[in-house]
Chains A and B, each alone.
Chain A
Amino acid sequence: MTDLIQGANLRGVGIGRGMAVGPILRMPDPLPEPADDTSTIGGDAEKVRAAGALAATAADIRLRGQRAGGAAKDVLDAQAFMAEDPTLKDDVDARIDSGKTAERAVFEAFAAFRDLLTSMGGYMGERATDLNDVSQRVVAHLQGVSAPGVPDPDHSFILVARDLAPADTALLDLEKVLALVTSDGGPTSHTAILAREKSIVAVVGASNALTLTDGQIVIVDASTGIVTVAPNDDEQAAATDTIAARAAAAVAPVGPGALADGTKVPLLANLGSVDGALPAVEKGAEGVGLFRTEFLFLDADRAPTVAEQQEKYTRLLEAFSGKKVVVRALDAGADKPLSFLNDEPEENPALGLRGLRALRANEPILRDQLTALANAQAATDADLWVMAPMVSTVEETRYFTALARELGIKTAGVMIEVPAAALLADRILADTDFASIGTNDLTQYTLAADRLLGSVASFQDPWHPAVLRLVGEVGRAGQKLDKPVGICGEAAADPLLAVVLVGLGATTLSMSPAALADVRSELARFTLQQAQEFAEIALSANSAVEARLAVLAAAQTLTTPSTESE
């Protein structure tokens, strides 16, 4: 990193290709620890202050929960009960009796509980963050300062933070947030995932972002990862033009996905419900690359009947008349428990009886699902493909493909998420119609890092050359056998990585519909030969970070008019 110069631009990793201009607001820093001074107003007065602050904080949190709704409300309700906790209150009072101020007593009482929860680890340990947040709010109330948390001004702003916690993002007013800039966190951080999901302009991991001060105007350019600090009038005007052009392009009719040389790369949507179908079509999805069927089975104590499933599948297929729809058979396991499928707790759910393994152990459920899909296929003119989740072996591939064909499915394939399946992709593809790579699980299994565990989140980066090499194995096998190879993980939604994946042999890309426009425009910038060069560059890197930077540099060289001649 260069020395910090006032006005110097910041560089991080852009999420998507958007741009934004506006004033920044910083997430407030955590409050300093209250000093351990002896109370000057006496224990009774301190207890009244503490009780008032705890009650006011509980009421405030509950109100925020009502505004947020959904899952955030549950988290915030639990936090309100923490502020009202009678055992905690007793502890606060006991500390006040020993001469402490209300601030210090509250701080220490929450810290004691937090340490207890942290020592329990796992899920309990994660609640420690909630407890810290409540503690900060109560102390802020006592000190008469504003509670740390997402700012909520009456104007649009660019939010600058170290990184954002789920509790912060749940309450983010997306109407006002023009962009997100974080100093920490990588492309798979919570902030990045949120930004991708909601199409928010974001640059993450921009060290020195915390040197920005409230009100400073910046330009955030996600396509380059550059944050321009205090831009001049020309720079601001250019940025405003770019934003307007982008907005116009987003509402313009969209064509099919293709590279600059015309190579077709169909862009498909990942969907988790039938209702998502029409919005996806409006955003230009050329079909569905991953339809998750879990929603049909959650909230149920038995599997839905063939007729119930068939009705839903038919509605889905009708929305994609004449188009390809890839449906994934039920993907459940101990990490996504369904009582009627597998209710045995497992030490290592990601490595347990899940995906096709769980279906095979409950074959009637799989047969019903395939039968319902085959019936829906017969009733509509969509091009239905069905794939099995988490296939590890050639034998499993043969089992699923044979069963699907027996029950009338025309096109059957497998998901490649396990390194073993990627390494033997040539043999797997010889026995089935297509493969679709789930990059999230493939990354988790390749790097042996639980994708749900925050402490190893930095490993969960699909740019890792080891992951890309496995993708390349599958791509090569697909080309050799002339079988389609799709990508349906988070990776396909990263525009530049999408180009690399095509270079590695992916023939279709499937993503959340919000990402379609950015990926479509990125693909159109490069030829197949260039995509293959990028793939080589990424494969020869030592790490995910190196791979991304090297490909980004190569892409910029290609698209920046060069003054040098050969």
Chain B
Amino acid sequence: MADRSVTIASANGLHARPASLFVQEVTKSGLSVEMTKGEKTINAASILGLISLGLQHGDEVALRTDGDNADSVLDDLAAFLTIDHDAS
């Protein structure tokens, strides 16, 4: 089991475009990844789950997964969330 704590960097939070890109990354990894904000945990491959977390700029989330290359997958996903996708 690997986990990471990440702060959302996108200026407008994780809205449709960055959320789609993030889901794409999670799906590509082939692992089942969980994301937790506060009390709520969702499947990170679920765009509706992501949208329903209402992630804002500066929110803290935890990522968790199991598997062969869990650490490198979480490093990539954590890096994705710490880029401001609204600035690119």
B48 engages A82 (CB within 8 Å)? yes
List chain A residues, Cβ under 8 A from B11: 337, 339, 343
A554: CB under 8 A from chain B?
A: no
Say which residue of B15, B19, B20, B52 sits within 8 Å of A117 (CB atoms).
B52
**B13, B42, B46 interface centre (most CB from chain A within 10 Å):** B46
List chain B residues, Cβ under 8 A from A40: none
Name which residue of chain B comes closest to A109, CB basis.
Answer: B48
List chain A residues, Cβ under 8 A from B45: 86
List chain A residues, Cβ under 8 A from B47: 78, 81-82, 85
For the A-B complex with A77-B20, A86-B46, A343-B11 known, give 8 more contacts whose Cβ atoms are closer than 8 Å. A78-B17, A78-B47, A87-B42, A87-B43, A88-B48, A123-B13, A130-B16, A131-B48
A127 engages B87 (CB within 8 Å)? no
Q: A78-B20, A345-B57 are in contact. Are A120 and B52 (CB under 8 A)?
A: yes
Task: Fill in one digit per residue for B39-57: 1 if any A CB lies within 8 Å of its CB, else 0.
Answer: 0001101111101101001
B19 engages A87 (CB within 8 Å)? no
Q: Report how many residues on chain B are interfacial, defined by Cβ distance under 8 Å.
A: 24
| Cα distance A2–B15 in the bound complex, in angstroms | 46
Cβ of B55 to closest chain A Cβ, rounded Å: 10
List chain A residues, Cβ under 8 A from B48: 82, 85, 87-88, 113, 131
Cβ of A130 to closest chain B Cβ, rounded Å: 8
B23: CB under 8 A from chain A?
A: yes
List chain A residues, Cβ under 8 A from B88: 299
A124: CB under 8 A from chain B?
A: yes
A171: CB under 8 A from chain B?
A: no
B20 engages A81 (CB within 8 Å)? yes
List chain B residues, Cβ under 8 A from A86: 43, 45-46
Interface of B is mostly: mixed
Cβ of B51 to closest chain A Cβ, rounded Å: 6
A116: CB under 8 A from chain B?
A: yes
List chain A residues, Cβ under 8 A from B54: 120, 124
Residues on B lying within 8 angstroms of A by beta carbon are: 11, 13, 15-17, 19-20, 23-24, 42-43, 45-49, 51-52, 54, 57, 84, 86-88
A363: CB under 8 A from chain B?
A: no
B46 engages A124 (CB within 8 Å)? no
List chain A residues, Cβ under 8 A from B87: 299, 301, 339
Say which residue of B23, B52, B86 sits within 8 Å of A116 (CB atoms).
B52
B16 engages A87 (CB within 8 Å)? no
Closest 8 CB pairs of A and B: A87-B46, A78-B16, A81-B47, A74-B17, A78-B20, A77-B20, A85-B48, A85-B46
Cβ of B88 to closest chain A Cβ, rounded Å: 8
Name which residue of chain B comes closest to A74, CB basis.
Answer: B17
| Cα distance A256–B60 in the bound complex, in angstroms | 59
| Cα distance A345–B59 in the bound complex, in angstroms | 14
Task: Fill in one digit per residue for A104-126: 1 if any B CB lies within 8 Å of its CB, else 0.
Answer: 00000000010011001001100
Name which residue of chain B comes closest to A114, CB basis.
Answer: B48
A75: CB under 8 A from chain B?
A: yes
B52 engages A81 (CB within 8 Å)? no
A41-100 contacts to B (CB < 8 Å): 74-75, 77-78, 81-82, 85-88
List chain B residues, Cβ under 8 A from A343: 11
List chain B residues, Cβ under 8 A from A88: 46, 48
List chain A residues, Cβ under 8 A from B16: 74-75, 78, 127, 130
List chain B residues, Cβ under 8 A from A339: 11, 84, 87
A117 engages B49 (CB within 8 Å)? no
List chain A residues, Cβ under 8 A from B20: 74, 77-78, 81
**A75, A116, A127, A343 interface centre (most CB from chain B within 10 Å):** A127
| Cα distance A383–B57 in the bound complex, in angstroms | 43
| Cα distance A120–B54 in the bound complex, in angstroms | 8
A117 engages B51 (CB within 8 Å)? yes
Name which residue of chain A comes closest to B22, CB basis.
Answer: A81
List chain B residues, Cβ under 8 A from A75: 16
Cβ of A204 to closest chain B Cβ, rounded Å: 27
List chain A residues, Cβ under 8 A from B15: 123
Task: Fill in one digit per residue for A350-381: 1 if any B CB lies within 8 Å of its CB, else 0.
Answer: 00000000000000000000000000000000
Name which residue of chain B comes closest to A80, CB basis.
Answer: B20
List chain A residues, Cβ under 8 A from B46: 85-88
Cβ of B70 to closest chain A Cβ, rounded Å: 19
B43 engages A78 (CB within 8 Å)? no
| Cα distance A127–B53 in the bound complex, in angstroms | 13
Cβ of B32 to closest chain A Cβ, rounded Å: 9
| Cα distance A331–B49 in the bound complex, in angstroms | 36
Cβ of B20 to closest chain A Cβ, rounded Å: 5
| Cα distance A456–B41 in the bound complex, in angstroms | 35
| Cα distance A27–B57 in the bound complex, in angstroms | 38
A to B CB contacts below 8 Å, 18 in the list: A74-B16, A75-B16, A77-B20, A78-B19, A78-B47, A81-B24, A85-B47, A86-B43, A87-B43, A88-B46, A120-B54, A124-B54, A130-B16, A131-B48, A337-B86, A339-B11, A339-B84, A345-B57
